[in-house]
Amino acid sequence: MNDKNSLDTLSDAMLLEEVKRRFDQKNQTLEEMVFLTKKLYDLNEKLKEHDSIKGEFLSLIKNVFNNPLSSLLNLSSMMQKNQDSPKTQTLKELMDTELRKLDFQLNNIFTAAEIEAGEIANYWSEVNLEQLLAEVCEGFSALVVDKALSWDISCQEGMKVVSDAKKLHTILANLLSNACEYSFRGNTIRIRIETQDEFFTIAISNRGDVIEKGFKQELFSRFKKLSKRTKAREGVDGLGLGLSIVKALVESLDGEVDYCSSKEVTTFTLKLALQDKSKAEALMSESANEFMFDDAVMKEF
């Protein structure tokens, strides 16, 4: 009799244990389903955002290239009709401005593609920062005149560093483009270049609407325009690539970029490592060897 009760008790206990085990198993399965559902939801949201960004980017591409191309075609037609007119010089200047805009945007697209493909090797050379800065500023002369802006540049005369000249040109062009576009009319853009122990800094400041604090995390992301800097600047040209390109190129040069924006003044600061001159000399030596090799090969033919 006692044995029978023991068996009944054991059977109940085993039954309860099995029910509990299956309940826990189903509970775990439900948790996994909830987790997977959330993952799928997040992925779907990212895909939606991707499609939205893609659509916006294509729209921007259309506007950025169609507008200046249409302008160039119209200007060309006008020049043909007024070849001997005093207006011809003005038309040439307008064409030059539109061509510079196209060149700037195309360079950004090509650079972004190279960054995406991981093709951003450094080509070291001795760079005269004063000359490079003057060249970049010259590219924005029409915009500076149009908005009655001025430059205030502080850079040691003939200052030279070892860096990648093309990358520095692209970095400065994008930062100065933003400074010009977002500056209040009639203001001064200040540029400060200094060297310290193992690095040099470039600070670019302009007076304009400040960048919202909550925008800092995404400011250097691709396709993020500075339109949040001010609601009144929806017409500012650009693809939203500039600052993401700046960040990628600066980091490839062993540097960092940051900004501060308050009381109508926004300053972007670059901190770049000072490279050893031997890097530039090694590249020059390698280029010379390649030239001699190519010359020798050509003589054989």
pLDDT tens sequence across 147-169: 999 999 999 888 999 999 999 99
Same domain assignment for residues 147 and 274: yes
Q: Where in the sequence is the domain holding 16, given as residue range(s)?
A: 1-80
Domain assignment of residue 107, yes or no: no
Same domain assignment for residues 75 and 2: yes
d(CA 162, CA 126): 4
Bigger pLDDT: 228 vs 119:
119
Say whether pLDDT at 264 is over 80: yes
Domain assignment of residue 285, yes or no: no
Question: Range with the lowest mean pLDDT among 95-109, 152-166, 185-199?
Answer: 95-109
Percentage of the chain lying above the pLDDT 70 cut: 62
Same domain assignment for residues 134 and 219: yes
Domain assignment of residue 142, yes or no: yes
Same domain assignment for residues 59 and 139: no
Domain assignment of residue 286, yes or no: no
Same domain assignment for residues 246 and 157: yes
User: What is residue 183's predicted lDDT score, i.e. its pLDDT?
Assistant: 93
Highest mean pLDDT among 34-43, 76-85, 242-251, 286-295: 242-251
Mean model confidence pLDDT for the chain: 77
Say whether pLDDT at 282 is over 90: no
Looking up residue 276, the CATH number of its domain turns out to be 3.30.565.10
pLDDT band for position 275 (cuts 50, 70, 90): confident
Same domain assignment for residues 45 and 145: no
User: What is residue 135's predicted lDDT score, i.e. its pLDDT?
Assistant: 94
Same domain assignment for residues 42 and 147: no
Say whether pLDDT at 49 is over 80: no
Sheet holding 188-195, edge to edge: 150-154, 188-195, 199-207, 265-273, 255-262
User: What is residue 216's predicted lDDT score, i.e. its pLDDT?
Assistant: 73
Q: Which residue has the tokens 């590219």?
A: 139
Burial of 260 (0-12, 13-18, 19+ CB in 10 A): middle
Bigger pLDDT: 262 vs 55:
262
User: What is residue 64's predicted lDDT score, i.e. its pLDDT?
Assistant: 58
Domain assignment of residue 86, yes or no: no
Residue that is last in its domain, among 80, 96, 113: 80
Q: What is the mean pLDDT of residues 103-115?
A: 84
Question: Range with the lowest mean pLDDT among 27-31, 163-167, 264-268?
Answer: 27-31
User: What is residue 103's predicted lDDT score, i.e. its pLDDT?
Assistant: 81
Domain assignment of residue 223, yes or no: yes
Same domain assignment for residues 131 and 200: yes
Same domain assignment for residues 138 and 68: no
Q: Give 212's DSSP letter.
A: P
* β-pair partners for 150: 188
Same domain assignment for residues 142 and 272: yes
pTM of the model: 0.68
Domains in the chain: how many in total? 2
Say whether pLDDT at 278 is over 70: yes
Burial of 59-85, coded b for 16+ CB within 10 Å and e otherwise, reads: ebeeebbeebeebbeebeebbeeeeee
d(CA 266, CA 206): 6
Highest mean pLDDT among 3-17, 22-36, 39-53, 105-119: 105-119
Question: Range with the lowest mean pLDDT among 100-104, 112-116, 138-142, 292-296?
Answer: 292-296
Domain assignment of residue 134, yes or no: yes
Same domain assignment for residues 139 and 56: no
Same domain assignment for residues 129 and 275: yes
Domain assignment of residue 6, yes or no: yes
User: What is residue 173's predicted lDDT score, i.e. its pLDDT?
Assistant: 96
Q: Which residue has the tokens 């977002």?
A: 182
User: What is residue 212's predicted lDDT score, i.e. its pLDDT?
Assistant: 81
Say whether pLDDT at 218 is over 70: yes
